[in-house]
Structure 1
């Protein structure tokens, strides 16, 4: 099911590399992942410091209820193959693998630093650096595609999903991080839930998860800020104010959409 990103021929493991019949080869990194990004696509993603701080934040359990909900949803589906498209540092991916040890799980992300961190688990998840818009997999190979606060391409998701496969999408609920935004902006608004009509997908279920967290660590407050799109668009006044906080209480609210694949064109 693994494909060469250059020619789409099957990839096979050969020692410490993956190669195809056209002699394209991709070395396996020391940590065990492989870089399958296309050379003509600019590689971006989170840098080393952002990955390090986000890993620490997630390990402190602030988003553990979301992870528990996702692992339960995936367990109910009993997939044989699952893709975490935009897996980051593997917080959700690795816990799902513990719940579904026999499932073939692939984690893809643009950030080599995030994929390197995810690979530290050495638990059998196949991790690769690549774009979720060009996943190096054959058609109709996956039972589940998971996307947690990550960009996605509907056609690409539909391409890799089997008939009646599941697409699980997680985004912010209306009051997600409302308390954080109150410290960043003068006028604060609730998030809008995006139109949930996705081409060739049937929306089967929606779930909401909300609770309150208190962060008493400045490093964790800043790490949370880095995990959001506000980090890139907040005026300096707001971000400088955030650096003065020793404690932050905020709502967290997640909106989970569960789709089933219909016939694709």
Structure 2
């Protein structure tokens, strides 16, 4: 399924590299992933600190309810191949491979630090550093694409999916982290839900909700760093949050399952 980002020929895995028929090669890092970002395009994505914070928070199980629900949905689809577009540190991706051992899973993210962290689990996922708006995947070959709190390029997802393939999208539900927002802002509003992508039929949508209590200041700060509020919150409110040692907040996830329509 992997293709060369330079010439779009199929990549084949050798001992220490992925190589195409035209001789372009991409080294496999010590952790096992491949960097498919071309030299003229500088990779970015989450830095080490952000990856470390997200890994800390997720590893403590606060979002396990979502992890488990997604895995159950994917098990019912019986996919042979699955792409996690914007996989981050692999919290969901590695769990998918654990419960779907017969599925060939690919995880892609622009952050080299996140991909390096994902590979530590050694689950057998094929990981690559790339821009998810330009996936190094041949067209019409994947059975499923999953996107969890990541940017979405529906045209790119349409390109890589087989006809009848599935796209599983996760974003914040209306009340996600509502109490955290109340600590940060005066005017708090519910999140808006957007659905619908050209070329896809919406098969199912649901809201998964729970309430969590975080009794660790570092975990609260790690959660804050995972959100867009980290970049938008005035310094005074952010500094006040650092003093918070316990937080009870709602978590709410909007899950939507789509199927790719027949190509015209």
Residue 81 of structure 1, CA deviation: 0.2
Residue 65 of structure 1, CA deviation: 0.3
Structure 1 consecutive aligned stretches of length 4 or more whose deviation exceeds 2 Å: 38-42
Query: Residues of 1 paired with 2:87 and 2:226: CA distance?
Result: 13
Q: Secondary structure at the match of 1:121?
A: coil
Residue 133 of structure 1, CA deviation: 0.6
Instruction: Give the TM-score, by structure 1 length.
Output: 0.97
Equivalent runs, 1:222-233 vs 2, <5 Å? 222-233=221-232
Contiguous gaps of at least 5 residues in structure 2: none
Q: Is the 8 A contact 1:83 1:145 kept in 2?
A: yes
1:78-136 CA-partner distances (Å, limit 9, x unpaired): 00000000000100011110111111000000111110010011121000000111111
Residue 61 of structure 1, CA deviation: 0.4
Residue of structure 2 equivalent to 1:212: 211
Q: Secondary structure at the match of 2:120?
A: helix
1:31-73 CA-partner distances (Å, limit 9, x unpaired): 0000011334331111111111211110100000000000000
Residue 169 of structure 1, CA deviation: 0.2
Residue 75 of structure 1, CA deviation: 0.2
Query: Residues of 2 paired with 1:79 and 1:135: CA distance?
Result: 19
Residue of structure 2 equivalent to 1:247: 246
Query: Residues of 2 paired with 1:39 and 1:85: CA distance?
Result: 21
Residue of structure 1 equivalent to 2:16: 16
Residue 237 of structure 1, CA deviation: 1.6
Q: 1:44 to 1:264 in 2, by over 3 A?
A: farther
1:157-210 CA-partner distances (Å, limit 9, x unpaired): 00111110000000001110001101111111111112x121000001001101
Query: Residues of 1 paired with 2:40 and 2:169: CA distance?
Result: 28
Aligned residues: 264
Q: Is the 8 A contact 1:33 1:126 kept in 2?
A: yes
Instruction: Give the TM-score, by structure 2 length.
Output: 0.98
Q: Is the 8 A contact 1:158 1:264 kept in 2?
A: no
1:1-51 CA-partner distances (Å, limit 9, x unpaired): 210011101111122011112221110000000001133433111111111
RMSD over aligned Cα atoms:
0.9
